[in-house]
Amino acid sequence: MHRRPIPRVLTKSAGKFAARVFVLVLMLGVGAVGTAYAGLTLTPTTWNVIGLDSNNVSTGPNTFPVGVRVCNTGGAAVTNVTGSFVWDSSNININLTGASTINVQTLAAGACTDIYFSVTITRTTAAYNAAR
């Protein structure tokens, strides 16, 4: 299993009810790799700030995508790639919606795939300047 840290992954939103969301580690489980070297690269595809509308917490979106692009730069297909969303802190107003682990069965040599997780902010003024 390879563990590669990635930079903060961000999602842009208007308003001062911004909450920073961090994806600390995308854990990549790699199995059944061919004889050629398999190299995986990670690139954030979203911003690292998300938030509620500063004028009215009840309007606008409160669920945001947080993602990364995984590319196989090696010469062989890679199977059983797993992306896991990992928090390093807690905040009852900032949570993952849906699965925290996403599996990619096979990533062909030279191919890329995007992995997205949904983060939801509770519609409350307590989320003002919150971070997780």
Which pLDDT value is given to residue 18? Answer: 32
Lowest mean pLDDT among 24-33, 47-56, 73-82, 104-113: 24-33
Q: What is the pLDDT of residues 49-76, one digit of tens each?
A: 888 888 899 999 999 999 999 999 999 9
Cα 94 to chain centroid distance, Å, stands at 14
Q: Token digits for 49?
A: 């700030």
d(CA 72, CA 130): 35
The pTM (predicted TM-score) of the whole model is 0.70
| Domains within the chain, CATH numbers bracketed | 2-127 (2.60.40)
> Are the C-beta atoms of 73 and 4 separated by less than 8 Å?
no
Q: How confident is the model at residue 38 (pLDDT cuts 50, 70, 90)?
A: low
DSSP structural state of residue 10: B
| Lookup result for tokens 């993952």 | 96
Name the average pLDDT for the chain: 77
